[in-house]
Amino acid sequence: MDDMHEVFESVARYFSVLGEPTRLRILHALCREEKCVSDIIGLTGMAQANVSRHLGLMYQAGMLARRREGTQIFYRVADPIYVELCRTVSAQVTGRVPDPSFSGDRAGQPAAVSPSSPGPAPVVNPQPPANQKEEASV
């Protein structure tokens, strides 16, 4: 188990970057194509200072790549695995949360994915977790 310590530390850092809703919103804004900071601000509705702080952290973590063009800085997702991971987890969570616009025939079925969703829809397990009595306190 000691030889896995560094792996676990690296995975924890990976997930800690994704553990902030603001960063997920930024990642969502960048999932299809690179954008300049002002476009990201417009899409997320967040303040420039807040967006810049999170972009810097995501860049340092290796999640985003950036390039400068004149006075503008453009960001893009450096590794598509981040987008796919977020889509998969979001689909899992969405499939388990009751939604008034629910389109399934019975509770627990995943809601329909909008046609504007990029990429193929991940497979969603409609069954609740076996330990449904336990609630996460994260």
Which of residues 1 and 64 earns the better pLDDT score? 64
Predicted local distance difference test score (pLDDT) of residue 106: 43
Contacts for 52-61: CB closer than 8 Å, 24+ residues apart: 54/20, 54/22, 54/23, 54/26, 55/26, 57/17, 57/23, 58/17, 58/23, 58/26, 58/27, 61/13, 61/14, 61/17
Total number of residues shown for the chain: 138
Our count of domains for the chain comes to: 2
Residue 108 domain-assigned? yes
109 pLDDT higher than 90: no
Residues 118 and 65 occupy one common structural domain: no
Mean pLDDT of 15-43: 92
Residues 10 and 68 occupy one common structural domain: yes
Mean pLDDT of 119-135: 40
CB atoms within 10 A of CB 73: 15
Domain that holds residue 6: 2-78
HEC assignment per residue over 90-116: HHHHHHHCCCCCCCCCCCCCCCCCCCC
Residues 54 and 69 occupy one common structural domain: yes
- Over the stretch 46-81, which tens digit does the pLDDT of each residue have? 999 999 999 999 999 889 999 999 999 999 999 888
Residues 46 and 64 occupy one common structural domain: yes
41 pLDDT higher than 70: yes
Cα gap 83→86, rounded to integer Å: 5
